[in-house]
């Protein structure tokens, strides 16, 4: 859609620098991707600004439908399937004049299809141009999850009652699978996954309750109820998920893990599935994995400049171990991939052991553990050492054997990355000792330990200045006043000069006031006197005091700084620090 000539006009209009434009052109030609995708993904040009510029070039009006109310009667002038296929949506009507928004004005098949509809219905069409993001939001308005699932339930109600009776007499595990594949429940599961992907959910929870089979989505770290299905359909939904994940249908007493890859129209979904047996039934959690293949930089993840510089120095060492710590869902794997991408190149052999891989990065040899055949983190790590690796990534240190092998790999000239479930960076040290790793070995191999959480970001579309209660102000000042001036340049004497913000709630953030997430972190560098202290006699209290003298910024302090910088709220920082 964007041509080199249009790019020159953007440079002349100071919408992008020449250096960025040239780099974008090179990336587009090298990777064979659309130029506009490169410009927006690299944040060189805002997507809406780019669309407005293109609209002017094509002689069309620009429209952003994000906050525009569209009547259902108008929206359905273009059927959902047609809208999705051609990238067009109807958003306005005045008698027979219909306002249409197009993603790509050069999609002549889309224009032909719309002209056919216009001729058939006696419409006059007025074309506008819309960004892909705005179009995606408009698409979501066709239906809501409950309505779409509800269409299937009436038919399903009697059918599943009949099948429950039938299953006792005629069905075994082999033909039960065929019944499930052809049943209405397959539509229900597809719709649930589709809406989770559309809504930016990270996890789908399906669990039995007194009210029915509850479906919850985790969005920006918060679980919310999406819908409640009738109880009679719960077992069938679980069975359908088992079929998709290639799990055993007749196994209901043991936990099962699997993976689902599926296409939903133009959407693709990659899910990690965990099924847990309960007293009378089962529950399922599906983690949605990122299929974009885009690995974010540390800066894009939210690490402050000081942390990025510390980490960049640590990973350039010829050997040593670097750990990323935090609870489940704190973004540890994403940070690991970012670190691997920083080292990725033709002169480096990077090998990973994962359960399962969440991103696939060209140039990196990624392997998935499989405990059923004896391919565990520990046994896999032994094999990896015979693969002449420069860099090793172990998805998680779960036991003593893996901990000892990772230390051994770091001692023998390799850079080793891994994760550990602890509440803080310092907490990784006693955790490793708990796994019988000697303190002097930790001192000899450990280069850096990163502790992190994810906090919700204030929605930029409804962000407003907001005062904070006095007790929260006092807690924040108490935590930040001990930091060095270069790390915390704020004036705590004149608190009136401090600005705080929160989101008031709008359609773009689902009225939550938050949209997206960012990292709050701490980076523990094991160097100098700290190495000696760790090797001789480790004490968390002494170690923490020594860190304060070295200008260490804790995770909580980093969160408070992000609140002062207008990225999140103090309440959000305190919420995640309590987990």
Higher pLDDT, 448 or 11: 448
The CATH 3.40.50.300 portion of the chain extends over: 305-456+516-552
- DSSP 8-state symbol, 472: H
* pLDDT of amino acid 140: 76
Residues 238 and 471: beta-carbon distance below 8 Å: no
> Contact at 8 Å (CB) between 370 and 361?
no
As a whole number of angstroms, the distance between CA 468 and CA 498 comes to: 10
User: Tokens at residue 526, please?
Assistant: 């094991």
First vs last C-alpha separation in the chain: 46
Confidence check: pLDDT of 555 > 70: yes
Pick from 429, 425, 461, 460: nearest CA to 553: 425
Indicate the class that CATH gives domain 145-162+176-289: alpha beta
Question: What percentage of residues in the chain have a pLDDT greater than 70?
Answer: 91
What is d(CA 218, CA 483) in angstroms, rounded to the nearest whole number? Answer: 35
Residues 118/77, Cβ–Cβ less than 8 Å? no
In angstroms, rounded to a whole number, what is the distance separating the alpha carbons of residues 545 and 525? 14
Q: Which has the closest alpha carbon to 316: 382, 391, 368, 418?
A: 391
Residues 245-270 have a mean pLDDT of 86
Condensed to tens digits (0 to 9), the pLDDT of residues 484-520 reads 888 998 888 888 888 889 988 877 777 788 999 999 9
> What kind of architecture, by CATH, is found in domain 4-140?
2-Layer Sandwich (3.30)
> How many Å apart are CA 187 and CA 197, to the nearest integer?
15
175 has a pLDDT exceeding 70? no
Query: pLDDT category, 167, cuts 50, 70, 90?
Result: very low
Q: pLDDT band for position 171 (50/70/90)?
A: very low
Q: What is the DSSP string of 26-39?
A: HHHHHHT--HHHHH
In sequence order, what E strands does 391-513 have? 391-394, 415-420, 446-458, 463-465, 501-503
Q: What percentage of the chain carries pLDDT values higher than 90?
A: 43
Find out whether 307 and 349 touch, Cβ atoms under 8 Å.
no
Q: In what order do the strands lie in the sheet with 97-102?
A: 61-62, 124-129, 97-102, 88-94
Question: 542: how many CB neighbours lie within 10 A of its CB?
Answer: 11
CATH 3.30.450.90 residue ranges in the chain?
145-162+176-289
Q: Which CATH architecture has domain 305-456+516-552?
A: 3-Layer(aba) Sandwich (3.40)
């Amino acid at each position: 859609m964007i041509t080199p000539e249009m790019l020159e006009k953007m440079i002349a209009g100071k919408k992008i620098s020449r250096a960025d434009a040239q780099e974008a052109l090179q990336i587009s030609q090298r990777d064979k991707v659309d130029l506009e995708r490169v410009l927006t993904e690299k944040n060189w040009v805002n997507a809406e600004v780019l669309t407005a510029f293109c609209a002017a070039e094509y002689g069309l009006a620009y429209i952003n439908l994000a906050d525009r109310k569209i009547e259902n009667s108008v929206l359905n002038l273009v059927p959902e399937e047609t809208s999705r296929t051609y990238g067009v949506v109807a958003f306005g009507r005045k008698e027979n004049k219909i306002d249409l928004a197009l993603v790509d004005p050069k999609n002549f098949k889309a224009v032909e299809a719309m002209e056919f509809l216009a001729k058939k219905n006696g419409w006059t069409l007025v074309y506008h141009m819309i960004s892909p993001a705005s179009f995606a939001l408009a698409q979501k308005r066709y239906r809501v999850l409950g309505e779409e699932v509800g269409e299937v339930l009436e038919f399903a109600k009697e059918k599943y009652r009949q099948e429950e009776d039938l299953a006792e007499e005629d069905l075994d595990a082999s033909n039960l699978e065929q019944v499930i594949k052809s049943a209405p429940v397959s539509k229900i599961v597809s719709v649930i996954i589709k809406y989770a992907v559309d809504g930016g959910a990270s996890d789908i929870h399906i669990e039995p309750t007194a009210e029915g089979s509850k479906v919850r989505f985790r969005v920006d770290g918060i679980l919310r109820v999406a819908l409640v299905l009738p109880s009679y359909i719960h077992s069938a939904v679980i069975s359908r998920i088992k079929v998709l994940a290639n799990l055993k249908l007749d196994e209901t007493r043991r936990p099962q893990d699997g993976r689902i890859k599926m296409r939903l129209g133009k959407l693709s979904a990659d899910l990690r599935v965990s099924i847990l047996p309960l007293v009378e039934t089962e529950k399922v959690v599906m983690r949605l994995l990122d299929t974009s293949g885009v690995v974010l930089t540390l800066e894009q993840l939210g690490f402050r400049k000081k942390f990025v510089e510390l980490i960049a120095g640590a990973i350039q060492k010829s050997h040593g171990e670097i750990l990323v710590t935090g609870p489940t869902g704190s973004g540890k794997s994403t940070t690991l991939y970012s670190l691997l991408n920083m080292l990725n190149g033709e002169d480096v052999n990077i090998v990973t052991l994962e359960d399962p891989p969440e991103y696939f990065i060209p140039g990196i040899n990624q392997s998935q553990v499989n405990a059923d055949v004896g391919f565990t983190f520990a046994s896999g790590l032994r094999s990896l050492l015979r693969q002449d690796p420069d860099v090793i990534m172990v998805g998680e240190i779960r036991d003593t054997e893996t901990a000892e092998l990772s230390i051994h790999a770091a001692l023998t000239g390799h850079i080793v990355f891994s994760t550990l479930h602890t509440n803080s960076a310092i907490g990784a040290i006693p955790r490793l000792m708990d796994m019988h790793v000697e303190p002097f070995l930790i001192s000899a191999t450990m280069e850096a330990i990163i502790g992190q959480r994810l906090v919700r970001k204030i929605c930029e579309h409804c962000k407003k200045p907001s005062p904070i209660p006095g007790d929260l102000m006092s807690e924040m000042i108490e935590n930040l006043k001990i930091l060095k001036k270069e790390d915390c340049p704020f004036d705590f004497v004149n608190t009136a000069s401090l600005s705080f913000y929160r989101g008031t709630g709008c359609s773009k953030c689902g009225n939550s006031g938050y949209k997206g997430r960012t990292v709050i972190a701490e980076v523990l560098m094991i160097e100098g006197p700290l190495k000696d202290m760790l090797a001789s006699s480790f004490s968390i209290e002494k170690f923490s005091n020594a860190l304060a003298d070295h200008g260490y910024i804790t995770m909580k302090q980093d969160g408070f700084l992000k609140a002062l910088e207008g990225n999140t709220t103090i309440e959000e920082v305190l919420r995640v620090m309590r987990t």
